[in-house]
Structure 1
Amino acid sequence: MKFHRLEAARGFAAVYVCVGHWVLANPSLGKVAHAFKLGQEAVMVFFVLSGFVIFWATSKPNMPIEKFRTYFAKRFTRIYSVWALAVVAMFTMASIAAGRLVFETPRRLLGNAFMLQDFVSAKPATICGPLYGNSPLWSLHYEWWFYMLFPLVFLVKDWRVRSHVVGSICVLGGITYALQPNPLSRIFLYFGIWWIGAHAAAVMRNLGQVRVKEIVTPLCYVALASVPMIVLCVAAFRRGDSLFLGIHPVLETRHLIGAIVLVLLAFAWRQSNWFGFGWTISAFSAVAPISFSLYVLHYNSIVHATYLSFLGSPVLELLAYVTITVAFCVFAEIVVYPRVRRWLAGKTVPVKSSS
């Protein structure tokens, strides 16, 4: 079952991030850049939508819960089929631009392969940076580990209790991260944002519709988890330290509060009967099928691309970069991913005995 508005939101967020990065990388566009400074919030949209989709897909009515190996195979395929192709593409683009083979360090390659990369310049206690300077890849680190935490939460049978468990983990993550920054606490902290979407899907499954009062629980936990981050911001301000929207601890605070605000704005929009949806973001549902690969590759294939600089025309270069990127996205998500998923599904579904 597809949710058109969610698909449109996903497609819009991907395009917004892509265009935003390109606009911000071109200072000559001046004040236009102000409209594209909410890219971090757009990533929070991805997190919330992902939580909803994963819960909805794995909790089908009158169906047993997926076995972990089946669940793992699906999530592994979703992330790594596109990621592996993107790595090859980034290596190719970097090598063409440099006129020689450009290899990443083994440490960074291994760290990214295990989804341990993060926003090194903006957050403390990171393990490694994204491959080939592709900074948007930081969010894949969280997405993957949210996938891995999800089955553990499902050990709790009551769907309402699950949200209290995740909320407590989120708050604990916020406290421990504020006291001693570390990757694990940070994942726990952000898991609360992802779970807003999962909780909304649980409400939809069990109650038939989602209202604000039904998602107050995860929203309150995320708000509570933001308190330690706010305390860090206040303490830094009092010390006279410089604070930046894209740097710790303001960045994490922005993510947490931004997620809450965006969810509440979505409900407010629904109250207006989605006024203007049809002529604003509805059409972006067409981008949703390739939104993941577009997000993964655009930073290197469009925004900071130089591998076609020999064309000598900025306009022609941009058109070529966009065309190549879209072609890659279609190939990765429409051609390769479904085939890999079907192949892997055949390997993970147990063969029934003939007796």
Structure 2
Amino acid sequence: MTKAASLYIDVLRLVAALVVFAVHAHYLLPKPMPGLWRLAALGGEAVTVFFVLSGLVIAHVVHTRETRAADYLASRFARLYSVVLPGLALTATLDIAGKLLAPADYAFTIGQDSRALLASLLFVNELWWTSAAPPSNTPFWSLGYEFWYYLLYAALRYLPDRRVRWATLLTLGAACGPKILLLLPVWQLGVAAYAIAGRHRLRPGMAVFHAVVSAAGLYLLVASGAKAEWHNATVAALGPLAQGLGPSSHVLYTYAFGVLTTLHLIAMVTLVPLFGKLWRSGERAIRATSAQTFAIYLFHYPLLKFLVAVTGSIGVLRGPVVIAVTLATIAALGSAGDRLKPALRRWFLARLGKSIPEGYRATAGVGLTNPSDAIGRR
């Protein structure tokens, strides 16, 4: 993957996380900050971007450096738990403090919260019709999807025996249930984007055309009102089965948004290296800020909720103070999580390396390129 493409992906990840932050700040602040209302309906779209980018990045790392199953799983678990552990600890701490200081804003019981925290820790919070994200940290729902996508992709790529591979995929699919599987194709679009971009380099003119058309398509899709209409059509078609689908009830709209996002990414992989000097000048700032993406996503909601609950007396400065304190706290905790990740990876690798045979290595999968075709290797 070229450095320019990697930096562009970092920018998209950061923008998506800030959109989710802005959406929740808009809804949680009694007097929303000016301009945030323009982003208020784009939270689901930002998560769709996360899913597509996740599939692309995972395909890349499996292709280039995580060729052993043990390396892949250790890296995924370390990445998740380096933020999930402090995120859930923060959520529990602020929930207890919130119930003491502002009980009206924390109506859920400690038992309900504890069960949701445990389910999120084990990534079983979204299986089948379950929806058990912590009440004060709703963004955790998406990790209950993505964790299982990691496992499904691992089974596809690392299990050498075909019968074992498909039996494992079927078992994991049965454990996930329809809600998670409905959005799996969106994650797989990222894998497809990596494969297509690795095999085919668009001409610059054609890349500009695809980038503009896909961006225009995304704008028109959002502005058209299709999200509500297609959601209603899905619910009407599925009837009682639609109950409990949660975000997956927007499946048709999410597919359309995911396809356009994928087309945009494929085009931009060709275009961004043309602006090499621009990317190099901003590389340090982009890397530093995008490193906080996961922390922004998982830490912001409980911080916003708690600070809104306890700052009712500071008047017109309430919004700026809440946002500033939230971002500063995220930066501090996110840096601590980054320092935790290498130790977690070593811990997981020491255990997985003993239990997973050395022969479990990445094999060619559907829609994947050969290592020699990796993005940027021309």
**1:7-22 equivalences in 2 (<5 Å):** 7-22=10-25
From the superposition, tell whether residues 273 and 150 of structure 1 become closer, same or farther in structure 2 (CA, over 3 Å): closer
Aligned residue for 1:189?
182
Counterpart CA distance in 2 for 1:92 and 1:194 is 33
State the shift of 1:199 in Å. 2.2
Structure 2 length-normalised TM = 0.65
Aligned residue for 2:92?
91
From the superposition, tell whether residues 36 and 59 of structure 1 become closer, same or farther in structure 2 (CA, over 3 Å): same
The answer as to 2:334 corresponding to 1:329 is yes
Structure 1 length-normalised TM = 0.69
Identical amino acids, percent of aligned pairs: 22
Flag the structure with more relative contact order, 1 or 2, with Cα contacts below 8 A and sequence separation at least 6.
2
Counterpart CA distance in 2 for 1:230 and 1:310 is 38
Aligned residue identity for 1:339:
A
Aligned residues of 2:126 and 2:144 also touching (Cα < 8 A): yes
Counterpart CA distance in 1 for 2:202 and 2:295 is 30
Aligned residue identity for 1:193:
V
Aligned residues of 1:115 and 1:144 also touching (Cα < 8 A): yes
Counterpart CA distance in 1 for 2:231 and 2:41 is 23
Structure 2: segments with no counterpart, 5+ residues: 104-108, 208-227, 355-378
Counterpart CA distance in 2 for 1:64 and 1:37 is 37
From the superposition, tell whether residues 73 and 19 of structure 1 become closer, same or farther in structure 2 (CA, over 3 Å): same
Aligned residue for 2:48?
44
From the superposition, tell whether residues 115 and 235 of structure 1 become closer, same or farther in structure 2 (CA, over 3 Å): closer
From the superposition, tell whether residues 275 and 37 of structure 1 become closer, same or farther in structure 2 (CA, over 3 Å): farther
From the superposition, tell whether residues 98 and 340 of structure 1 become closer, same or farther in structure 2 (CA, over 3 Å): same
Aligned residue for 2:74?
73
Aligned residues of 2:123 and 2:147 also touching (Cα < 8 A): yes
State the shift of 1:264 in Å. 2.7
State the shift of 1:85 in Å. 1.2
SS in 2 for 1:305: helix
Aligned residues of 2:87 and 2:299 also touching (Cα < 8 A): yes
From the superposition, tell whether residues 264 and 321 of structure 1 become closer, same or farther in structure 2 (CA, over 3 Å): same
State the shift of 1:308 in Å. 4.9
Aligned residue identity for 1:188:
L
Counterpart CA distance in 2 for 1:139 and 1:238 is 25
Counterpart CA distance in 2 for 1:199 and 1:104 is 42
Task: Work out which of the residue numbers 119, 122, 146 in structure 2 matches 1:114.
Answer: 122
**1:119-138 equivalences in 2 (<5 Å):** 126-138=129-141
Aligned residue for 1:226?
none
State the shift of 1:196 in Å. 1.2
State the shift of 1:139 in Å. 0.3
State the shift of 1:339 in Å. 2.9
From the superposition, tell whether residues 290 and 32 of structure 1 become closer, same or farther in structure 2 (CA, over 3 Å): closer
From the superposition, tell whether residues 275 and 98 of structure 1 become closer, same or farther in structure 2 (CA, over 3 Å): farther
Aligned residues of 1:308 and 1:317 also touching (Cα < 8 A): no
1:77-122 alpha-carbon deviations (Å, 9 max, x no partner)? 1112211111111111122222289844454333223212249xxx
Aligned residue for 2:39?
35
Counterpart CA distance in 2 for 1:186 and 1:210 is 35
Aligned residue identity for 1:16:
V
State the shift of 1:195 in Å. 1.1
1:63-83 alpha-carbon deviations (Å, 9 max, x no partner)? 7831x3332222111112211
Aligned residues of 1:111 and 1:117 also touching (Cα < 8 A): yes
Aligned residue for 2:298?
296
SS in 2 for 1:79: helix
Counterpart CA distance in 2 for 1:189 and 1:39 is 18
Counterpart CA distance in 2 for 1:237 and 1:188 is 20
Aligned residue identity for 1:110:
L
Aligned residues of 1:302 and 1:322 also touching (Cα < 8 A): no
State the shift of 1:25 in Å. 3.0
State the shift of 1:332 in Å. 1.3
Counterpart CA distance in 2 for 1:155 and 1:336 is 27
SS in 2 for 1:126: coil
Aligned residue identity for 1:37:
A
Aligned residue identity for 1:329:
G
Aligned residues of 1:94 and 1:307 also touching (Cα < 8 A): no
State the shift of 1:52 in Å. 1.1
Counterpart CA distance in 1 for 2:77 and 2:154 is 14
State the shift of 1:254 in Å. 2.2
Report the aligned-residue RMSD.
4.4
Counterpart CA distance in 2 for 1:236 and 1:127 is 18
